[in-house]
Amino acid sequence: MTTALSRPDGSPVRVLVVDDEPNIAELLQMALRYEGWDITTAATGRAAVQAARDVGPDAIVLDMMLPDFDGLEVLRRIRAFAPDVPVVFLTARDAVEDRVHGLTAGGDDYVTKPFSLEEVVARLRGHLRRSGALEHRESHVLTVGDLTLDEDSHDVSRAGEEIALTATEFELLRYLMRNPKRVLSKAQILDRVWNYDFGGQANVVELYISYLRKKIDAGHPPMIHTKRGAGYVLKPAP
């Protein structure tokens, strides 16, 4: 399906997301689940430490500010029994001191709020690969029906005919193809393709869906469908 990361036994990557803001935790959970990963969430430092013991995550996304104790204390406690798990801190944009403390305390990386979901995913993928604890399965081509998309070369074709896409069209199509037969709302598409803090209107999704249809469905049975009041779905043509 995609350039997949998995555990040596083939089971999904496990990521622990720690943030006391429900909307941020939900967005991260949604984005990481679309990678095919198994996500556990915690809203307090105490719950995070317990979840890390119970789940044995392959990576952790850890907010610096939590209601009981801070991310540095969470990191210290988790490092006592999981010294090598990659940890990506979430910090406020102006909290330079937090970032310095987080990295010197043993954190592997940091992302400032507001952040791009794609950036968090990319950082985690990089750390997971470098951790050496996972398998990297080489499968770069997405295929739905007679439509193919190569995530490395960015080549797209339908029924053997090459299709030229802009960078945004490519990202939108990739998202649709990673979720075949699944209805995706405009809000979900904005979150994933334009990042959750995008300030534009939902009609940008309609616009780019129309661009894609002209290129993907032209001369072929349609694959991109509108579910009125729900969103859009891509599925193989009958």
The predicted pLDDT at position 195 comes to 60
User: Which range (64-78, 184-198, 203-217) has the least confidence?
Assistant: 184-198
Q: Is 84 helix (H, G, I), strand (E, B) or coil?
A: coil
Residue 202: pLDDT band with limits 50, 70, 90: low
The predicted pLDDT at position 223 comes to 96
Statement: residue 1 has pLDDT above 80: no
Share of the chain above pLDDT 70, in %: 83
Beta-bridged to residue 39, according to DSSP, are 15
| pTM of the entire predicted model | 0.56
Q: Is 43 helix (H, G, I), strand (E, B) or coil?
A: coil
Quote the distance between the C-alpha of residue 99 and its chain's center: 22
